[in-house]
Amino acid sequence: MKDWFAGSVAERYDADTADMPVEPVLDFLLPFASGGALELAIGTGRIAVPLAERGVRVAGIDLSPDMVAQLRAKTAEIPVEIGDYAATRIDARFSLVFIVFNSISNQTTQEGQIATFANAAGHLEPGGCFVVEVGVPNTARLEVFDLSESHVGIDEYEPATQHFVSHHFNLVDGHWQRLSIPFRSVSPGEFDLMARLAGMELRERWTDWDRSPFTAESTRHVSVWEKP
């Protein structure tokens, strides 16, 4: 995997995601985290740091040293392994493994996503859960998903390969900068199959962290798979 979050992307990440909810995510995750939580793609600790502040034993895996440096500026108490979250191991077990904000799609191959589910299951205690927040595939070839005075976001989708690219145009210091990040788009049903291959079963699926029902109109899902 390529580190798409190095340098200025890591430096701006917290500011760029400042409007994204945190408390509903924590409220959802906390009941699953009695035996500790491992975050895949922990990044700057946007979720992990406040989760640890709620008394949860938290650890993380992330590919980007620059993103983890931003986390380290907040706390040195959360152990983090640098590496691909599909394969990197931590010598511990948890009741919760989670990955949020479409980060599962940073694995751009089916093999990488299957390996991610297997790695998550390998870190779970019996009865533990893997929680994923990710978008539902969009059939539009091009879609503007954000449009503001300082940011334009456009998704470019290729249905034949399930690959898409999120193009971000950011106005930084008076100049427009482009960042195009590749992803692999997956249906909820394909994720369920990956979970079964890893020995897990779907426990629940919602549209959002507030547990609103998942429907045909949902544009994303929060899914929970359980390890027997």
CA atoms within 13 A on the CB side of 85: 29
CA distance 59 to 92: 9
Contact 224, 200 (CB under 8 A): no
The 10 Å Cβ neighbour count of residue 126 is 9
In a structure prediction context, what are the per-residue pLDDT tens digits for the chain, which is 228 residues long? 889 999 989 999 999 899 999 999 999 999 999 999 999 999 999 999 999 999 999 999 999 999 999 999 999 999 999 999 999 999 999 999 999 999 999 999 999 999 999 999 999 999 999 999 999 988 788 988 889 988 998 999 998 899 989 999 988 888 898 989 999 999 999 999 999 999 999 999 999 999 999 999 999 999 999 999
What is the value of pTM for the model shown? 0.93
CA distance 46 to 226: 24
| Domains of the chain and any CATH numbers | 8-136+187-226 (3.40.50.150), 138-185 (2.20.25)
Phi/psi of residue 112, each to 5°? -65, -35
Residue 36 falls in which region: left (phi positive, over 0), alpha (psi -120 to 50) or beta: left
